[in-house]
Copies of this chain bind each other. A is one copy, B any other.
Amino acid sequence: MIRIITISREFGSGGRTIGKEVAEKLGIPCYDKDLIEKIAEETGYAKEFIADESEYAPNSNSLAYMFIGRGLDGLSNADKIWIAQKKVIEELAEKQACVVVGRCADYVLRERKDVLNVFVYADKKLRAERIVKQYGESAVEPEKRLADKDKKRKLNYKYFTEQEWGKRQNYHLSIDSGFLGIEKAVALIVDAVGGAVENE
């Protein structure tokens, strides 16, 4: 019986919107930005810092500075965020049925049997249009913004999970939201869950 749905997604594929709508249809909470607040409480870091940094891979060149801030415990900021994030997600999953968007939740919850892992992706052209509509224009070309964001997600995922982000084998369902549309993607996930989820 599926109680938890994790949604991993390419930037601009509508994965976050899909997650919210799935949660609404199932009558369960969707954790996305809320996770950041919980991680902030755990670590004492500012929310903005977590939002910015936790999608980076600590071994990425541009982030060498993260190692400078290493504490007496030998942990980098990224490591501390990872540990808090893991704890927050594990506790949430234990407590209640929910949707979790991003944050390697598929990997964190891999030992559980009640988790449906979904990956959402779409054609680059459609994603570029979507991020301009969603987040506005920027000096950086949308194709470049997509590539940068997905690369960060990929590196972060690889660093902490040693698995490949977006690889079909790591998910139970992969949906092309560009071809099928957001609405159909939501319906497919709800169907895959196959009925009400229990929320004790």
Contacts and interface: CB of A to CB of B under 8 A. Distances in A.
Interface of A: 116, 119, 121, 166-169, 171-176, 179-180, 184, 187-188, 191-192, 194
Contact of A184 (B168, B174, B191): B191
Contacts of A191: 184, 187-188, 191
27 contacts: A116-B179, A119-B168, A121-B169, A166-B168, A167-B168, A168-B168, A168-B174, A171-B174, A171-B176, A172-B175, A172-B176, A172-B179, A172-B180, A173-B173, A173-B174, A173-B176, A173-B180, A173-B188, A174-B174, A184-B191, A184-B192, A184-B194, A187-B191, A188-B188, A188-B191, A188-B192, A191-B191
Given A173-B175, A174-B174, A175-B173, A180 B192 contact: yes
Contacts of A119: 168
